[in-house]
Amino acid sequence: MRYRLGLRTALRALGAHKLRTGLMLLGIVVGVAAVVAMVAIGQGTRAEVLRKVESMGANLLTVSAGQLRFQAGHEAGATAITLTERDARAIAEEVPHIVSLAPAQSKKLSVKFEEMSTTTTVVGTTPEFQLVRNSRLITGEFFNDDQVRSSARVAVLGQTAMLNLFAGRDPIGETIRLANVPFLVIGVLEAKGLDIAGQDQDDQIIVPLRTALRRLFNVSHLSTIYVSVDDSPAMETAAVTIAEVLRERHRLRPGGEDDFVIQNQSALLETQAAVSDTFTLLLGSIGGISLLVGGIGILAMTLIAVRERTREIGLRRAVGARRRDILLQFLIETGLLSATGGVGGVALGITAAKITSVATGWPMLIPWGVALTAVVFSALLGLAFGVYPARKAAMLDPIVALRIA
């Protein structure tokens, strides 16, 4: 009964001072909205980074020809003709924990279909490319080992390449010309989007490896060997073993530089996730400061309310209200105010995050756990900052309060 009376009294008091109530609400709403919106954008960015890394392939090691060197603060790549199909076979035979392996060579080439033409990345590889690079077909089929051995002129299109050439038409069974060499389209890959480096993974055409090496690129070496490992903990061991196998095959002297580069997807994932988590923490901290400022606003406004309502407090005490009744009333007011502001802040934060996501193209992931925490925290913050003014009101002597009033 006492709590219901306190709630009704709190609602009347808040409604009687609409401007002050609105200003108090505004501080909490803005603080909670800032936390929710910033964390939503931060978590969305993290999820997008994870999606992009995973789209490159499961537990992927990428072995590239050449050694990256850093000179004068800039990255310079020296491409070495060192990787071969024999290297790929040696890795497959000698390195444990390997699930699948796909040698590859790629190059930008012009491609034509009827009157349409474009320039895209042509990747020569083997059927294992599908598993290693997590590539799925939406129509048609992928080429097989027999087509690789026979240097068949067949092609599988990425979504971007398909749209650039066929503009919505069904490409299966059509003939395209890569560097003026005819290829039969047999499949279309599912869209994957941009990778971590910002490259369009769909702007490519996949062809059999030997066809690419002999008929398109006129080379015998590889640019890349994609290696899929059975689980994440084994990736570091596999990378070390691959390095040992390649150094021995390439007759590199002890202490000499590698003529290849091994990129560990797990390490890349951890680094990107750590950067994203730091970014999210920074944004959340800024929002938390805004929320703290809102709590201080409640403290200031409640102190003003206590001063303005001294006569009311004195009258209530004079007619029998106990100190705990006065204390309860002011705590209910601040708690109700901050909880309402928390709910409003969550709604505003989600709306602001969605608008920002649409306007900038940044990914967004609604942090429902953070939103609930923000509401609870805002209510507790309001109660915490309302304790001192409430206690001050409860401790007023009724005679002194009536005299002051």
216 and 334, same domain (yes or no)? no
For residue 147, being part of any structural domain is answered with: yes
279 and 337, same domain (yes or no)? yes
CB atoms within 10 A of CB 305: 22
Count of the separate structural domains present in the chain: 2
254 and 276, same domain (yes or no)? no
Q: Which ranges constitute the DSSP H helices of 151-264? A: 159-166, 209-211, 235-249
Q: Is pLDDT above 90 for 209?
A: yes
Task: Show which of 228, 258, 288 is a domain's final residue.
Answer: 258
100 and 205, same domain (yes or no)? yes
For residue 75, being part of any structural domain is answered with: no
Query: How far apart are the C-alpha atoms of 143 and 205, rounded to whole Å?
Result: 12
Task: Show which of 224, 258, 292 is a domain's final residue.
Answer: 258
The DSSP result for 361-375, as a single string, is -------HHHHHHHH
Q: What pLDDT does residue 234 have?
A: 80
- How do 181-189 and 154-157 pair as beta strands? parallel
Query: How far apart are the C-alpha atoms of 272 and 56, rounded to whole Å?
Result: 14
Q: What pLDDT does residue 81 have?
A: 67
Structural domain range at position 296: 2-52+271-404
Q: What are the pLDDT digits (tens) for 73-90?
A: 444 444 456 799 999 999
163 and 304, same domain (yes or no)? no
User: Which of 60-64, 123-127, 259-263 shows the highest mean pLDDT?
Assistant: 123-127
Q: What pLDDT does residue 72 have?
A: 43
Buried b (16+ CB within 10 A) or exposed e, 175-192: ebebeeeebebbbbbebb
What is the sign of the dihedral through the CA atoms of 264, 200, 186 and 55? positive
* pTM value > 0.85: no
221 and 124, same domain (yes or no)? yes
Query: How far apart are the C-alpha atoms of 224 and 202, rounded to whole Å?
Result: 18
What percent of the chain lies above the pLDDT cut of 70? 75
At residue 332's C-alpha, the angle toward residues 327 and 337, to 5°, is 135
Q: What pLDDT does residue 367 have?
A: 76
The token pair at 295 is: 């709590």
For residue 76, being part of any structural domain is answered with: no
Q: What pLDDT does residue 309 have?
A: 66
Q: What are the pLDDT digits (tens) for 162-191?
A: 999 998 789 999 999 999 999 999 999 998
For residue 395, being part of any structural domain is answered with: yes
Q: Which amino acid type is present at position 120? A: T
Residue with token string 């997807």: 265
At residue 344's C-alpha, the angle toward residues 339 and 347, to 5°, is 130
For residue 286, being part of any structural domain is answered with: yes
At residue 24's C-alpha, the angle toward residues 338 and 14, to 5°, is 80
Q: Which value, in Å, is the radius of gyration of the alpha carbons in the chain?
A: 33
245 and 289, same domain (yes or no)? no
Q: Taking all residues of the chain, what is their mean pLDDT, rounded to a whole number?
A: 80
Of 112-126, 191-205, 233-247, 289-303, give the lowest mean pLDDT range. Answer: 289-303
Question: Which of the pair, 114 or 154, is modelled with greater confidence?
Answer: 154
Listed residue (186, 187, 196, 224) closest to 107, CA to CA: 224
Q: What pLDDT does residue 241 have?
A: 93
